[in-house]
């Protein structure tokens, strides 16, 4: 199969979700695959976000329900979401554990593809994509609705809304080209220790549209080191100009370089709070950040973020501790994106992306944003919630 199209027929969609995907994001846990994290989520200790993102996706497609046949598994892994949206679907006879596991995801895929579906949709992160990849028929198109913490793989849409718009293209009889994209996952235990070990697990057939589907994460190069020094100098000068301000540093190698150069004992993959060039709290979760912001309403607060290389996500990948509530308190005008020139070039004119989980906020923040690329060097660049090239 070289493209995905309905050819005038109803689109037969298989759907399931990993209900625990992404629960570790706002909590600063750097992943959700560990059994103890999923068990805690099942007991209500963490907020489940996968179902909310699935609802966002299906609500967008509800007006086109007459052009789709939806097949799913019962309960928390599929049927509950479709019931909430009010969509008709075919429920498979599939036993799912009360606390679903990777085996349940694989079982769902195997049963769905036996029903001769045209497309498999799943909600999850890299761990879920890896489960799908182990059992999927290589000729069956797949699209991931993003809900994980990391999502280095190239099989996910940019956001639930972007996924819905892509399916709308197909339902409106516009053929969408298919291409093989990498499935990658990282060692979460090493990730929690500040070490990124990304591993290739295979490829899946995915709709090829850069406006709606994210790219595989890319690393930096030698040229980046020169830009990083210039960016460090710019951030340090700005911090000195705002001595009373509170600074929130997001995760990533770019921001980590700045913090290390400032002599801070910071975290590579967490969110750290700094004042007077002193680390006051490291590896914060959403509750920590929100509490500090509430206690410092009278102070200036600046958020220093970098984007994921190759993908362009500024908000919503690896930094879900920055919840919509936190972002509203900070304000777009107090965000300092820091990107090397090489990282910007790798975007190939695609915009920076925001997928906060609040589409109203994403729309409000869309538009031009000043990006720091060096010392006294700032470029106006597009921030968008859809990749509209």
- pLDDT greater at residue 9 or residue 282: 282
| Co-location of 190 and 251 in the same domain | no
Total number of domains in the chain? 2
CB 154 within 8 A of CB 213: yes
Q: Percent of the chain at pLDDT above 90?
A: 63
Q: Are residues 268 and 367 in the same domain?
A: yes
User: According to the model, what pLDDT value does residue 56 have?
Assistant: 95
On whether residue 212 sits in a domain, the answer given is no
**Cα(214)–Cα(158) distance, integer angstroms:** 5
Residues 157 and 16 in one domain: yes
Q: With respect to residue 215, please indicate whether it lies within any of the assigned structural domains.
A: no
- At which of 142, 174, 207 does a domain end? 207
Does 12 score more than 90 pLDDT? yes
pLDDT bin (cut points 50, 70, 90) of residue 352 is very high
Are residues 148 and 197 both part of a single domain?
yes
199 and 230 in a common domain: no
Confidence (pLDDT) at 1? 56
Percentage of the chain lying above the pLDDT 70 cut: 86
pLDDT(26) > 50? yes
Do residues 386 and 165 make contact, with C-beta atoms less than 8 angstroms apart? yes
Higher pLDDT, residue 303 or 159 = 303
For residues 166 and 209, the answer to whether their CB atoms sit within 8 Å is yes
Q: For residue 160, give both structure tokens.
A: 């639930």
Q: What are the tokens at 274? A: 């700094």
My answer on whether 146 and 263 are in the same domain is: no
Which residues make Cβ contacts (< 8 Å) with residue 384, sequence separation at least 6?
Answer: 351, 352, 353, 354, 366
Specify if 177 maps to a domain: yes
Give domain status of residue 51, yes or no. yes
For residue 125, is pLDDT > 70? yes
The reply to whether 197 and 289 lie within a common domain is no
What does the pLDDT read at residue 234?
95
Q: Looking at the predicted structure, is the pLDDT value of residue 220 above 70?
A: no
Does residue 216 sit within a domain? no
Q: What is the pLDDT of residue 212?
A: 72
Are 156 and 254 members of one domain? no
Average pLDDT of the chain, as a whole number: 88
Q: pTM of the predicted model, to two decimals?
A: 0.76
Q: What pLDDT score does 192 carry?
A: 53
Confidence of residue 201 (pLDDT cuts 50, 70, 90): very high
pLDDT of 20 above 50: yes
In this structure, the answer to whether residues 234 and 333 fall within a common structural domain is yes
Contact between residue 350 and residue 310 where contact means Cβ atoms under 8 Å apart: no
Per-residue pLDDT tens digits for 253-271? 899 999 999 999 888 889 9
Task: Encode pLDDT of 325-350 as tens digits.
Answer: 999 999 999 999 999 988 888 888 88
Considering only CA atoms, which of 235, 291, 289 is closest in space to residue 258?
A: 235
Q: Are residues 374 and 289 in the same domain?
A: yes
| pLDDT at residue 389 in the model | 38
Clarify whether residues 376 and 257 are in a common domain: yes
Residue 6: pLDDT band (50, 70, 90) is: low
Residues 80 and 24 in one domain: yes
CATH value at residue 132: 3.40.50
- Decide if 253 contacts 236 (C-beta within 8 A): no
Q: Which of 207, 231, 262 is the last residue of a domain?
A: 207
> Tell me: the pLDDT tens digits for 135-156?
999 999 999 999 987 678 899 9
Domain that holds residue 351: 222-384
């Amino acid at each position: 199969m070289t493209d995905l199209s309905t050819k005038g027929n109803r689109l037969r969609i298989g759907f399931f979700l990993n209900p625990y995907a992404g629960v570790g994001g706002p909590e600063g846990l750097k992943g959700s695959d560990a059994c103890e994290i999923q068990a805690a989520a099942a007991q209500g200790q963490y907020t489940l976000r996968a179902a909310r993102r699935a609802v966002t996706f299906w609500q967008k497609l509800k007006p086109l329900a007459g052009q789709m046949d939806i097949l799913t598994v019962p309960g928390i892994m599929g049927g509950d979401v479709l019931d909430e949206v009010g969509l008709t679907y075919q429920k498979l006879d599939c036993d799912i554990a009360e606390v679903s596991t990777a085996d349940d995801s694989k079982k769902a895929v195997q049963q769905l593809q036996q029903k001769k579906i045209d497309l498999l949709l799943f909600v999850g992160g890299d761990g879920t994509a890896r489960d799908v990849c182990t059992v999927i028929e290589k000729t069956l198109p797949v699209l991931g609705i993003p809900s994980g913490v990391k999502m280095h793989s190239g099989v996910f849409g940019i956001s639930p809304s972007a996924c819905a718009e892509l399916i709308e293209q197909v339902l409106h009889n516009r053929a969408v080209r298919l291409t093989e994209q990498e499935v990658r996952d990282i060692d979460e235990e090493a990730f929690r220790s500040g070490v990124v070990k990304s591993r290739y697990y295979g490829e899946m057939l995915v709709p090829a549209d850069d406006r709606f589907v994210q790219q595989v994460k890319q690393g930096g190069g030698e040229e980046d080191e020169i830009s990083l020094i210039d960016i460090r100098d710019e951030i340090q000068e700005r911090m000195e100009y705002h001595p009373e301000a509170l600074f929130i540093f997001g995760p990533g190698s770019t921001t980590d370089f700045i913090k290390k150069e400032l002599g801070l004992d910071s975290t590579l993959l967490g969110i750290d709070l700094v004042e007077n060039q002193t680390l006051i709290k490291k590896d914060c979760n959403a509750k920590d950040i929100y509490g500090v912001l509430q206690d410092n309403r009278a102070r200036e607060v600046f958020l220093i973020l970098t984007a994921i290389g190759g993908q362009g996500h500024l908000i919503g990948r690896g930094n879900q501790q920055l919840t919509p509530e936190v972002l509203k308190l900070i304000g777009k005008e107090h965000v300092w994106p820091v990107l090397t020139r090489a990282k910007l070039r790798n975007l190939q004119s695609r915009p920076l992306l925001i997928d906060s989980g609040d589409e109203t906020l994403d729309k409000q923040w869309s538009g031009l944003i000043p990006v720091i690329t060096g010392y006294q060097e700032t470029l106006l660049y597009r921030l968008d919630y859809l990749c509209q090239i």
